[in-house]
């Protein structure tokens, strides 16, 4: 079983962002936790981060031929307006779970709308790094 984790813009500088919202961990630390959980669940994991919308679209498109069993995506700010990422996800036939570290429904109004969520299997928001770990368990269960 193989999953792809995609981190969107500004998540590469996570440790420099508001720690009360994002937990204070660096992306590298989060990725280590994801990799440890993957090992526990006996899942192979590939992790990708980009600040560029087109690179994320191309990564999603490339996943079509690579036989992943699921994708976990934190589209970050793109969640709120990227129809291009939404359209790329809509083509997929595998579980895709949208994850946010912070609770996007408890913040500014512009964050409470995700244009990506309707084409995902589900959304996990506000659980910090645990969101990624729970999403991995969910993908495993959804593939049973």
Q: How far is the CB of 71 from ligand DQA (least distance, A)?
A: 15
Q: What's the Cα-to-Cα distance from 124 to each of 58, 61, 117, rounded to whole Å? A: 24, 23, 10
Pick 38 or 104: Cβ nearer ligand DQA: 104
Q: Tell me which of 7, 22, 68, 132 is the catalytic residue.
A: 22
Residue (of 55, 56, 52) closest to 72 by Cα position: 56
81 assigned to active site: no
Where do contacts with ligand DQA occur on this chain (CB under 6 A)? 10, 74, 76-77, 79, 100-102, 104, 111
Pick 63 or 125: Cβ nearer ligand DQA: 125
Q: How far is the CB of 122 from ligand DQA (least distance, A)?
A: 15
Q: How far is the CB of 100 from ligand DQA (least distance, A)?
A: 4
Two tokens, residue 135: 């999403």
Q: How far is the CB of 133 from ligand DQA (least distance, A)?
A: 14
Q: Is the dihedral of CA 122, 126, 31, 18 positive or negative?
A: positive
Q: Tell me which of 7, 68, 100, 132 is the catalytic residue.
A: 100
Pick 45 or 99: Cβ nearer ligand DQA: 99
Distance (Å, whole) CA 94 – CA 29: 27
Pick 8 or 70: Cβ nearer ligand DQA: 8
Q: What's the Cα-to-Cα distance from 107 to each of 104, 110, 125, rounded to whole Å? A: 6, 8, 12
In sequence order, what are the residues at sequence separation of 6 or more whose Cβ sits closer than 8 angstroms to the Cβ of residue 68?
Answer: 2, 3, 4, 46, 94
- Name the residues annotated as catalytic: 22, 100
């Amino acid at each position: 079983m193989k999953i792809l984790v995609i981190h969107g813009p500004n998540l590469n500088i996570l440790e420099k962002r508001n720690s009360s919202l994002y937990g204070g961990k660096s992306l590298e630390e989060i990725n280590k936790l994801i990799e440890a959980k993957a090992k526990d669940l006996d899942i192979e994991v590939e992790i990708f981060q980009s600040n560029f919308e087109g690179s994320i679209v191309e990564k999603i498109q490339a996943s079509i031929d690579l036989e992943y069993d699921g994708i976990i995506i934190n589209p970050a700010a793109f969640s709120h307006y990227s129809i291009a990422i939404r359209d790329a996800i809509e083509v997929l036939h595998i579980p895709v779970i949208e994850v946010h570290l912070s609770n996007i429904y408890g913040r500014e109004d512009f964050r409470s709308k995700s244009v990506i969520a309707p084409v995902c299997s589900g959304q996990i928001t506000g659980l910090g790094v645990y969101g990624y770990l729970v999403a991995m368990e969910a993908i495993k269960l959804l593939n049973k």
